[in-house]
Structure 1
Amino acid sequence: MEKLDKVKNKDILDMENQNDETLNKLHEIVKKSFEEEQLIVDNLLHPPKETLSQGQLISDKVARFGGSWSFIILFSGILIIWLIYNSLVAKQDQFDPYPFILMNLVLSCIAALQAPIIMMSQNRQEEKDRQRAENDYMVNLKAELEIRSLHKKIDMLLQEEIKQLFESQVTHLKLLKQMSDHIDKLEKEIKNRYQQ
């Protein structure tokens, strides 16, 4: 019976040790996943600062103003005043008589200058969109790493659980064998006593 108790105590200690080992493995997986994700988190929390040249700042402001209602209203007002002034004043006071050649030249120059400035601003916006898409990719990558980490943990837990169940079955079979042997031994002793 003492032998049986020793085997039981040993098995209980082995199971506790296995649980401790499993917890240590889980802690290692968690620690490793945090280390892998740290770079991604740093990039998301501290994006590189954008340094703009004077030309880029000006192109952004011009594009912002050129695409606003303020610009449309102001420019329409100037054109209407231009047309009314050059149509109603005396011929000698008109600085751009009908067919308004100077106004066509000014409009062409404004369009020719405004188009590349807006293109520069759009190129910078495309760069910002690319950076935003890269950040989205980093977030998705972080989520994928988390999912992989969870899969590793679950797989490891399942493997350890299966291993513990198998070892527990082996231990129980050994105990049953020992009990069976012990019962057989007792039966023999009892038979020997009655036969004597």
Structure 2
Amino acid sequence: MNNSNEQLASQFLKTCKDAGESEQKVMERLTKRLHISHNTNKNFDDSLTLGQRLADKIAIFGGSWTFILIFIGILFAWIVLNTLILANKSFDPYPYVFLNLILSMLAALQAPVIMMSQNRHAAKDRAAAEHDYEVNLKSELEVLALHQKIDVLRDQQWSELVSMQQEQIKLLTQVLEKNKTS
């Protein structure tokens, strides 16, 4: 069986003129009967460093309604505090220069963290897509192997049918000859 898998894999590689690294991995796994079943998400998440996990958590929180609502609340409180409550002694009077500085710093820090998280998620998606491709390729090879097995069985049945028909013709010929002689 292993030899037929190798033949099938080499036959498939001939039809795919530019077989890449993932195709070679699938062929190797198929011929050795290794399973392509690993949890891409778990493997990827296990390899993250503490900083990468923290960046992901910050990006998740920074893109949530909770963050937006808290941020709107803080902005509203800042404006109310500096405009109405501390009218004569406000530390950041109306055009709110200090508030703009803080918002700019927050955006300057938050944007790269979100981009790092997005880049990691893109890499995770690429790994998942590569895994899906390998599984699909292996499935295609398995289907080809099943087709070959069915073809072999069909050929055997045809040859058995032909031999049975030849035997029937032989018997009919004998019956006809007996009828002619009698």
Give 1:135 shift.
Answer: 3.0
What is the identity, as a one-letter code, of the residue corresponding to 1:162?
W
Structure 2 alignment gaps of length 5 or more: 9-28
Which residue is 1:112 aligned to? 108
Deviates more, 1:133-142 or 1:71-80: 133-142
Alignment partner of 1:86 is 2:46: no
Alignment partner of 1:60 is 2:56: yes
Q: Root-mean-square deviation (CA), in Å?
A: 3.3
C-alpha distance 46-106 of structure 1, shift in aligned 2 (>3 A)? closer
Alignment partner of 1:69 is 2:34: no
Give 1:119 shift.
Answer: 0.5
- Percent identity between matched residues is 45
Structure ranking higher in helix proportion: 1
Distance in 1, matches of 2:83 and 2:106, equals: 23
What is the identity, as a one-letter code, of the residue corresponding to 1:54?
L
What is the identity, as a one-letter code, of the residue corresponding to 1:36?
L
Which residue is 1:147 aligned to? 143
What TM-score does the superposition give when structure 1 sets the normalisation length? 0.65
What is the identity, as a one-letter code, of the residue corresponding to 2:43?
P
Structure 1 alignment gaps of length 5 or more: 1-27, 191-196
Which residue is 1:36 aligned to? 30
Number of residue pairs the alignment of both structures matches: 156
Distance in 2, matches of 1:46 and 1:76, equals: 34
Structure with more contact order per residue of length (Cα contacts < 8 Å, sep ≥ 6): 1
Distance in 1, matches of 2:148 and 2:115, equals: 49
Give 1:178 shift.
Answer: 6.5
What TM-score does the superposition give when structure 2 sets the normalisation length? 0.69
Deviates more, 1:168-177 or 1:132-141: 168-177
